[in-house]
Amino acid sequence: MRTEVGIIGAGPAGLVLGQLLRRSGIDSVVLESKSRQEIETTVRAGVLEQGTVDLLNELGVGERMLREGSFHHGVEIRFDGGGRRVDFPSHTDGRRIMLYPQQEVVKDLVAGRLGAGGDIFFGVSDVEIRGADTGSPSLSFSHEGRRHDIDCAFIAGCDGFHGPSRQAIPARGRREYNRTIPIGWLGILIEAPPSSPELIYTNHRRGFSLISTRSPEVQRMYIQVSPDDDIAAWPDGRIWQELHDRTDIPGRPELIEGPIFQKGIVAMRSFVCEPMSYGRLYLAGDSAHIVPPTGAKGLNLAVTDAVVLARAIAEWRSGGGNALLDAYSEICLRRVWKAQRFSTFMTRSLHRDPDGDDYDHRIQVAELDYLTSSEAAMRSFAENYTGLPIEW
């Protein structure tokens, strides 16, 4: 087989990249290690920046998102026994966010690609990248008991942290930045109507909590725990008690409880690989960077990587040269590190430090007081939360 761009991974980065390339008349093939059912049903968060929403609509895969997703015009931040709201449109020339789960975004993108006749090989294994540092890279993989080879002009590694793409860059040619955060999130999915029309972030002496939504019938909630906690030690009653203790404030409606049908604990960490390219191999999404979920940036960074890479390849193909391809890593990393900064700020401001004391907590309260009372601080927060522009 031959294609212009071999894409490893059918997550948001790979699928958006494929749609953008198709719009420019550029062929691609997508390889995915999981089944279609698995990538379309694995529950993941989904806070979409305004730019991501606009792009999905431009690509023709946003109809269901607009019908079933929920636009939010701000967030509420609760701390020190009270709550304050940060409005997004008034501080960002009208920008908003949308809550629409990542697996639903993936489902729409898969349907859009297959409906347009694009190729996706599900359930592949043993993917090998060859000749990435040459002008003629290729991919080799197993699928349904047979070995296949694809000759490419470019390879896009959109295969997540554990995929083969990043490892194809020689260790001497990349630098990896890692930060382990001693915080875990215990997340639950419940059957209930929304407790709030918008997200609620809470800083509490007992720990952080987040009230989110997935649909009119399904809600997502989180509490801060130790990353080493055993989920068996968290029966439903204990989870609800902690959520109420941390989130409820006088004069506001209490959380609406409902049956918990999924729960688990995830650790938090940060990761960045520099550079995000090697020869004709370009990393995108979680293969190159992971941010703490507090800032809601993971999916949106993946989409940004795809936008930059698609434009760079289209420019090269039209005879515009390699300038944008050569700048791909630099362009993406500027936004990645700003997202890391914002996510780190959110994490430090809202979570109880396991080694902290009352002084540290009062500093957090002062930080959140300033954030929610200063017009300049609210503007900065809203700009970062709804999405910073790409700096070409």
Residue 84 lies in a domain: no
249 and 82 in contact (C-beta within 8 Å)? yes
Which position among 91, 204, 289, 297 bears the catalytic label? 297
What pLDDT does residue 44 have?
78
Burial (Cβ within 10 Å: 0-12, 13-18, ≥19) of residue 250: exposed
Which position among 101, 137, 194, 293 bears the catalytic label? 293
Q: Residues 212, 325: one domain?
A: no
Q: Residues 42, 187: one domain?
A: no
CATH of the domain at 104: 3.50.50.60
Which position among 12, 91, 100, 201 bears the catalytic label? 201
What pLDDT does residue 351 have?
97
Q: Residues 152, 18: one domain?
A: yes
Q: Residues 187, 335: one domain?
A: no
CB atoms within 10 A of CB 16: 30
CATH of the domain at 186: 3.30.9.10
Residue 95 lies in a domain: no
What pLDDT does residue 43 have?
77
Residue 312 lies in a domain: yes
345 and 297 in contact (C-beta within 8 Å)? no
Q: Residues 338, 194: one domain?
A: no
Q: Residues 156, 227: one domain?
A: no
Which position among 72, 91, 289, 351 bears the catalytic label? 72
What pLDDT does residue 215 have?
85
**338 carries an active-site annotation:** no
105 and 65 in contact (C-beta within 8 Å)? yes
Number of independent structural domains in the chain: 2
Residue 342 lies in a domain: yes
What pLDDT does residue 16 have?
98
- Phi and psi based region of residue 251 (left: phi greater than 0; alpha: psi -120 to 50; beta: remaining): left
**263 carries an active-site annotation:** no
Mean pLDDT, the chain cut into blocks of 10 residues (392 residues total): 97 98 97 96 87 97 95 97 97 96 95 95 97 95 96 97 96 95 95 95 97 90 96 97 96 94 94 98 98 93 98 96 97 98 97 94 98 98 96 93
Q: Residues 235, 185: one domain?
A: yes
Q: Residues 297, 149: one domain?
A: yes
What pLDDT does residue 89 have?
98
Residue 93 lies in a domain: no
pTM over 0.85: yes
**201 carries an active-site annotation:** yes
What pLDDT does residue 347 have?
96
Going by C-beta distance under 8 Å and a sequence separation of 6 or more, which residues neighbour residue 262? Answer: 43, 188, 189
Q: Residues 202, 329: one domain?
A: no
Q: Residues 307, 332: one domain?
A: yes
Which position among 100, 222, 328, 385 bears the catalytic label? 385
**389 carries an active-site annotation:** no
Q: Residues 172, 122: one domain?
A: yes
| Segments forming the whole domain that contains residue 38 | 5-50+63-70+100-177+270-347
What pLDDT does residue 45 have?
76
**235 carries an active-site annotation:** no
